[in-house]
Amino acid sequence: MKKSRVLSLVTAGVLCLSLLAGCGSNSSSGSSSAGNASSAGEAGSQSNVVKFKLGGTGPLTGDAAIYGNAAKNGAQIAVDEINAAGGSVQFDLNYQDDENDAEKALNAYNALKDWDMQLFLGSVTSTPCIATSAEANTDRIFLLTPSASSTDVLGGVTDPVTGLLSIQRKDNAFQMCFMDPNQGSASAQYIFDKKLGTKIAVIYKNDDAYSMGIYNSFKVKAEELDLNIVSATTFTSSSQNDFSVQLTEAKNAGADIVFLPIYYTPASLIFSQAKSMNYSPEFFGVDGMDGILTMDGFDTSLAEGVMLLTPFNADSTDEATKSFVEKYKEQFGEVPNQFAADGYDCVYAYKAALEKAGATTEMTAEELCEALIPVFTGSDFSVNGLTGENMSWDATGAVTKSPKGMVIQDGTYVGMD
């Protein structure tokens, strides 16, 4: 925001009042007009500091709202901590609702551009983030998404049949979460290593980039490990209310474990419908399952014994996790999930990278983008966070960290390793 020109002095009293009013204003106050701007928890003495404008889009309403609000809330806690501590890097956070819809995500992204966003948290879920990451690449705005895991978010995808690059690498895009292929192959490896089942059924969503990406890599790794996939059935957005056909096929095939590379909303129906037909296999999910325990109206006993891979364990006893969980519970009334932890880690990764790059708030979004790319891909840059130690990124934009096996017991996540 441009500074107001000082008018001619009338009286010393009027000047003092004007200065006091000016000191109370935030140089990034334009964020409030765009909605969801951060203010809570910031130290009063820091309110006049010019901050980096950090924007993001996510489903803050609708079926996937657990993901979007968790990422936003986790990021907000990090922003409040950083701003309260002072220093050269502080943030003004602005999250826009995209309802897990690509078109609405683009509208939200454009609202953030009108707000003069300098850094982008991307979109929380994969399909919207594929759309917004393409725009951010064209606009040269750096993107670090907490949880959009599709390879199409990053680009640089090679067709496994032709060996040709099918999507050009978006060099400004990076992920805090595991890429879909990593989740799929890691899940197959985990099932194999832990001997969790002998006959595997898979139920995946064939009109969703996230689900398809995980399933495809799971299938390749399962074949490599000689795992026996006895059933692979699909559904779409328009048919995700009745899973009787998929469950019946899995049951008739004798599947003793069902792999679900899907989000928690359809998974909750699968658990309920499996119980009603007296089918009780082991269920194994991925990070999209995280959040099911806080889903409104869901009977958590239906998820008893469900396993999943996630990089975050809210029950960890390290001081950083304990502090984060305590703050999250106090502010939002629930236990944080992986998406909240990923949002938190994104903000601290941005802070570390901006400091290493010597970045200033006077830099344009494009200048910041060009400064941050070599930092994130540098061999000497890593971040310790809630979701991993010594996390680093390669030239593809993918993060390197280790997943943890979790199982739901008595309505909570319990580590399996």
Q: For Cα atoms 31, 35, 36, give the angle at the middle one, nearest 5 degrees.
A: 95
Measured CA to CA, the distance from residue 40 to residue 201 in angstroms comes to 47
Residue located via tokens 């765009």: 34
| pLDDT over 50 at 30, yes or no | no
- Banded model confidence at residue 182, pLDDT cuts 50, 70, 90: confident
| Topology adopted by domain 180-310 | Rossmann fold (3.40.50)
| pLDDT over 50 at 2, yes or no | no
Return the CATH superfamily for domain 49-178+320-400. Answer: Response regulator (3.40.50.2300)
Q: At what angle do helices 65-85 and 338-357 cross, to 10 degrees?
A: 40
What lies within 8 Å, CB to CB, of 261 at 6+ separation is: 183, 184, 187, 202, 204, 210, 211, 214, 215, 218, 285, 286, 288
Give the residue extent of every domain in the chain: 49-178+320-400, 180-310
What local confidence, expressed as pLDDT, does residue 372 receive? 98
Amino acid identity of residue 227, one-letter, is: L
- Residue with the bigger pLDDT between 402 and 201: it is 201
Give, as one character, the DSSP assignment of residue 37: B
| pLDDT over 60 at 349, yes or no | yes
- CA dist list (Å): 412 to 235, 258, 303, 305, 312: 28, 20, 10, 10, 13
Q: What is the DSSP string of 52-83?
A: EEEEEEE-SSSTTHHHHHHHHHHHHHHHHHHH
| Over residues 287-308, mean pLDDT | 90
Edge-first strand order for the sheet with 229-235 is 229-235, 200-205, 257-260, 282-285, 307-310, 404-409, 412-415
Q: Say how many residues make up the chain.
A: 417
Rg (CA), the chain: 23
What local confidence, expressed as pLDDT, does residue 157 receive? 60
What local confidence, expressed as pLDDT, does residue 402 receive? 80
Do 180-310 and 49-178+320-400 fall under one CATH topology?
A: yes
Q: Is 416 left (phi over 0), alpha (psi -120 to 50) or beta?
A: alpha
Q: Beta-strand (E) ranges in 90-243?
A: 91-97, 119-123, 143-145, 157-158, 165-167, 173-175, 200-205, 229-235
Mean pLDDT rounded to a whole number for the chain: 87
What local confidence, expressed as pLDDT, does residue 159 receive? 54
Amino acid identity of residue 233, one-letter, is: T
User: pLDDT of 64-119, one tens digit each?
Assistant: 999 999 999 999 999 999 999 999 999 999 999 999 999 999 999 999 999 999 99
| Over residues 166-185, mean pLDDT | 86
| pLDDT over 50 at 231, yes or no | yes
What local confidence, expressed as pLDDT, does residue 309 receive? 87
| Over residues 135-160, mean pLDDT | 87
CB 326 within 8 A of CB 303: no
